[in-house]
Amino acid sequence: MPNLLIELFSEEIPARMQARAADDLKRLVTDGLVAAGLTYASAGAFATPRRLALSVEAVLAESPTIREERKGPRVDAPDKAIEGFLRGAGVSRDDLEVRDDKKGQVYFAIIEKPGRPAADIIAEVLETTIRNFPWPKSMRWGSGTLRWVRPLHSVLCILGDESGATVVPFSIDGIKSGDSTEGHRFMAPARFSVSSFDDYCARLAKAYVILSAQDRADHIWHDATNQAFAQGLEVVEDKSLLAEVAGLVEWPVVLMGDIAEDFMGLPAEVLQTSMREHQKFFSVRNPKTGRIEKFVTVANRETPDHGKTILAGNQKVLFARLSDAKFFWENDLRTPLLDMVAKLANVTFHNKLGTQAERVKRIAALAEEIAPMVGADPALARQAAEVCKADLSSEMVYEFPELQGLMGRYYAQAAGLPQEVANACEAHYAPLGPSDDVPTEPVSVAVALADKIDTLTGFWAIDEKPTGSKDPFALRRAALGVIRLVLENGVRVGLLSLFEQSRHKADSQDLLTFFHDRLKVYLRDKGITHDVIDACLAMPNSDDLALLVKRAEALQAFLKTDDGENLLQGFKRANNIVRQAEEKDGVEYSFGPDPKFAETDEEKALFRALDAAEAEITPAMDAEDFAAAMSAMAALRTPIDAFFEAVQVNTDNQVLRRNRLNLLNRIRQICLSVADLTKIEG
């Protein structure tokens, strides 16, 4: 069976899009082939800066013939009916067969769809694929209407086996398919023909192109680590940079260069960020000192001088970049921290929420109030909050926004502020995601909470809430941050009071509902079901997230036990009976039942059990020992079951009936004091 090779050769494809594009090419083409009846053994896709390639092994040479039978009208049916059938089936009267059927003799049409040669199908599939390719961004060029990520220059499409290959004839917007491609743009620009995938790979390699991105990345990493190792150094691992760099070259040549001594005083993160963001350099570290001493750059070619000119050029660019960084760093260090803070008065945070300076003032006041709740010194929390955004007006952060926080820590340290304050400058942004570390130092926790609460209440107050997929101010992330800060540090605080303490007039209940929604998402990942959360949300103090979660965890565990499940059924039965009676009678059965009307032993036993349970549950609830409260509740299971077994609630004796309904209500009340069990499903 023949093998198929496709290459789409274009101008430089953005590195970040290449891997996904190779996958899309494979998926779209192979899905198209299979849908048309062309199965295959295996397929592999590849990308370089200038080409997407797909190799499909052992494709059927043609699609199978499909035979279909269709039952028609009876032989003696009117001509009109028979003609209609012929039209619908697309056959002539000669193609009809007469067969015996239960109803007599009936026409059958035999429709045969002949198989089609693979080349025809491939040409169609490839055209559809190119025209509908899901590039994140595509463009037109010249006078054409075709869209591709950058101008598409040639299409290689061959189908063949060991004995040779032929071009799959095909043309799209003036580009004719062929069997040739180009090598490296500079090192081997001549066009050459290929006869198979193996031949393609081999010729590309000779023409200075490594087809596989993984091979290029491996090559880069291998050479870089070797060169570093030879000098007793190590390359700082950076997988996303490696993938990006592998997408910028077809023929990677690793070059290691020096960082001038002048820049060694810069924080390692500044060196790394500047080199990675601007130059796509890897940092090379001295493992003994932790200092970044060299860099690795990856060129796209070999040169007669073994990269000397290229390295010198790169070094020069780096020198200019790091001179800038050093200039920023030194200027920033010369600037008193309070001057940076003062400059925040000129920076708008949001036009309805004032300047960064006003924001800092609010955060500082709030942090001071939160401090005692998290075990932090209020004065330190205030001080930390007052300087926590200072670095936003530093030159370094203006240049490298991703260094915000980190530079704040360095500058606070340099200003001789207490270590907790410096740490808070960096840590108060955390956690930024669901897996990010949560700060634990009390001062950092206080500032982190204050910052996020101020943001949330602020945007709530001006009605800029997240909607659908739109969350431009990352408020969901901020709320999750608060949730994790509170829960993972065991902070006991009512969120509503915090909202009130903030300087914004936000709809606190609405914001709390937003928090509860985020909490549900957070707890769902921890195995707590939504109905359990709802049952706990209905309880008082549901703005105390630590309490809420404690209750939810106990309830989830309780419901997993036999007693828990049965008690839930008992509760639901009691609740249903009381509710139906209440609806029917139009009264509420909330009087205390009187044991003197208890007739049966089971009824009396239930009275005793309820008294006993209540005596245990009340103190347990006061101590927030939900597990103990629920296990006391579990003790009700047997007497409740026995009661329902032996006692008819709705008797004709109205006094007894009323007393029993009030007794069921007591069950209801006791159970509901632990959690709103009516919300539990099942």
Partner 1 sequence: MTNKQELPGSFQEIILRLQTYWAAKGCAMMQPYDMEVGAGTFHPATTLRSLGPRPWAAAYVQPSRRPTDGRYGENPNRLQHYYQYQVIIKPSPPDLQALYLGSLEAIGIDMTMHDIRFVEDDWESPTLGAWGLGWEVWCDGMEVSQFTYFQQVGGHDCRPVSGELTYGLERLAMYVLGIDHVMDMPFNAPDAPISLSYGDVFRQTEQEYSRYNFDVADTDMLLRHFEEAETECARILAEPATDPKTGKRIIMAHPAYDQAIKASHIFNLLDARGVISVTERQAYIGRVRALTKMCADAFLETPAGGHAA
Site for partner 1, rule CB under 8 A: 11-12, 14-16, 49, 137, 139-143, 149-151, 153, 186, 248-249, 279, 297, 299-301, 303-305, 309-310, 312-314, 316-318, 320, 323, 347-348, 351
SS3 labels along 524-593: HCCCCCHHHHHHHHCCCCCCEHHHHHHHHHHHHHHHHCHHHHHHHHHHHHHHHHHHHHHHHHCCCCCCCC
Nearer to partner 1, 313 or 372 (CB): 313
Among residues 383, 368, 536, the alpha carbon closest in space to that of 453 is found at: 368
| Number of residues assigned to the chain | 682
Nearer to partner 1, 249 or 443 (CB): 249
Query: Taking the complex as a whole, how short is the minimal distance between the CB of residue 18 and partner 1, in angstroms?
Result: 11
Task: Tell the burial category of 562 from Cβ atoms under 10 Å away from its Cβ (0-12, 13-18, 19+).
Answer: exposed
| DSSP code string of 123-142 | HHHHHHHHHT---SS-B--T
For 259, other C-beta atoms within 10 Å of its C-beta total 22
**Buried-exposed string 94-123: b where 16+ CB fall within 10 A, e elsewhere:** eebeeeeeeeeebbebeeeeebbebbebbb
Nearer to partner 1, 41 or 317 (CB): 317
Nearer to partner 1, 11 or 624 (CB): 11
Instruction: Give the list of residues 6+ apart from residue 392 with CB closer than 8 angstroms, or none.
Output: 344, 347, 356, 404
Nearer to partner 1, 188 or 438 (CB): 188
User: CA-to-CA distance for 227 and 234, rounded, in angstroms?
Assistant: 9
Count, in order, helices (H) and strands (E) of the chain. Answer: 25, 18
What stretch of H or E contains 44?
strand 42-48
Query: Taking the complex as a whole, how short is the minimal distance between the CB of residue 150 and partner 1, in angstroms?
Result: 7
Query: Taking the complex as a whole, how short is the minimal distance between the CB of residue 16 and partner 1, in angstroms?
Result: 7
End-to-end CA distance of the chain: 57
Q: Are 20 and 124 in contact (CB under 8 A)?
A: no
**Buried-exposed string 360-381: b where 16+ CB fall within 10 A, e elsewhere:** bbbbbbbbbbbbebbebbeebb
Nearer to partner 1, 394 or 508 (CB): 394
Query: Taking the complex as a whole, how short is the minimal distance between the CB of residue 118 and partner 1, in angstroms?
Result: 31
Instruction: Give the list of residues 6+ apart from residue 579 with CB closer than 8 angstroms, or none.
Output: none
Structure tokens at 494: 């009512």
Query: Taking the complex as a whole, how short is the minimal distance between the CB of residue 12 and partner 1, in angstroms?
Result: 4
Nearer to partner 1, 301 or 530 (CB): 301
Q: Are 111 and 89 in contact (CB under 8 A)?
A: yes
Nearer to partner 1, 305 or 588 (CB): 305
Query: Taking the complex as a whole, how short is the minimal distance between the CB of residue 311 and partner 1, in angstroms?
Result: 8
Query: Taking the complex as a whole, how short is the minimal distance between the CB of residue 159 and partner 1, in angstroms?
Result: 27
Query: Taking the complex as a whole, how short is the minimal distance between the CB of residue 560 and partner 1, in angstroms?
Result: 53
Among residues 655, 665, 664, the alpha carbon closest in space to that of 590 is found at: 665
Nearer to partner 1, 148 or 643 (CB): 148
For tokens 């390359």, what's the residue?
235
**Helix 239-246, helix 213-229: angle, nearest 10:** 120
Query: Taking the complex as a whole, how short is the minimal distance between the CB of residue 27 and partner 1, in angstroms?
Result: 23
Nearer to partner 1, 350 or 573 (CB): 350
Nearer to partner 1, 142 or 682 (CB): 142
Query: Taking the complex as a whole, how short is the minimal distance between the CB of residue 251 and partner 1, in angstroms?
Result: 10
Query: Taking the complex as a whole, how short is the minimal distance between the CB of residue 348 and partner 1, in angstroms?
Result: 4
Nearer to partner 1, 149 or 385 (CB): 149
For 148, other C-beta atoms within 10 Å of its C-beta total 23
What stretch of H or E contains 96?
strand 96-101
Nearer to partner 1, 248 or 630 (CB): 248
Nearer to partner 1, 301 or 679 (CB): 301
Structure tokens at 468: 């659908």
Query: Taking the complex as a whole, how short is the minimal distance between the CB of residue 71 and partner 1, in angstroms?
Result: 54
Instruction: Give the list of residues 6+ apart from residue 117 with CB closer than 8 angstroms, or none.
Output: 61, 62
User: CA-to-CA distance for 617 and 636, rounded, in angstroms?
Assistant: 12
Nearer to partner 1, 319 or 597 (CB): 319
Instruction: Give the list of residues 6+ apart from residue 361 with CB closer than 8 angstroms, or none.
Output: none
Among residues 132, 78, 145, 85, the alpha carbon closest in space to that of 110 is found at: 85
Read off the DSSP letter of residue 93: G
Query: Taking the complex as a whole, how short is the minimal distance between the CB of residue 160 and partner 1, in angstroms?
Result: 29
Query: Taking the complex as a whole, how short is the minimal distance between the CB of residue 359 and partner 1, in angstroms?
Result: 14
Query: Taking the complex as a whole, how short is the minimal distance between the CB of residue 627 and partner 1, in angstroms?
Result: 53
Structure tokens at 30: 């192979």
Label the pairing between strands 175-178 and 152-161.
parallel
Query: Taking the complex as a whole, how short is the minimal distance between the CB of residue 139 and partner 1, in angstroms?
Result: 4
Task: Tell the burial category of 682 from Cβ atoms under 10 Å away from its Cβ (0-12, 13-18, 19+).
Answer: exposed
**Buried-exposed string 166-205: b where 16+ CB fall within 10 A, e elsewhere:** ebbebebeebebbbbbbbbbeebeeebebbbbebbbebbe
Nearer to partner 1, 249 or 670 (CB): 249
Query: Taking the complex as a whole, how short is the minimal distance between the CB of residue 135 and partner 1, in angstroms?
Result: 10
| DSSP code string of 254-274 | EEEEE--GGGTTS-HHHHHHH
Nearer to partner 1, 27 or 153 (CB): 153
